[in-house]
Amino acid sequence: MSPIFIYLPQTKIERAGDLDHFITGICDGLRAAHPRVQPHPVFKTSVNKEIDPFRPLLIEDARKVMAITAWKQKLGENCRPYYKVMIEEIESDLG
């Protein structure tokens, strides 16, 4: 199973937020925006017309997400925080 790693400086790892909130944000970012969302006007420019917040990046139906594995990882103090997300499709007998 492919995990999600959230890399944070060691002194900020416990104050940075709940792991479940990080995962929610990542999953929401990988699916399409809710139909009532008003996207920023930058998405209507000719430069960004291929980027559509209403088109999912990876998750088309959140009900089909079968497993999520995630860790917060410590970085050196002067490092910038970042995420590493690995996605894999799995077969399921659940329907």
- Residue 15 has a CB neighbour count (10 Å cut-off) of 7
89, two tokens: 């499709």
CA distance 45 to 50: 10
List C-alpha distances in Å: 51 to 1, 23, 24. Answer: 29, 22, 21
* pLDDT at residue 36, as a whole number: 92
* pLDDT at residue 56, as a whole number: 86
- Interacting residues of 51 by C-beta distance below 8 A, sequence separation 6+: 43
* pLDDT at residue 93, as a whole number: 65
Amino acid at 17: G
pTM given for the model: 0.65
Longest dimension (CA), the chain: 47
**What are the 10-residue block averages of pLDDT along the chain, 95 residues in total?**
80 83 86 88 77 84 84 87 82 63
List C-alpha distances in Å: 56 to 31, 59, 87, 93. Answer: 4, 6, 14, 24
- Quickly tell me which residue has 């925006």 as its tokens: 33
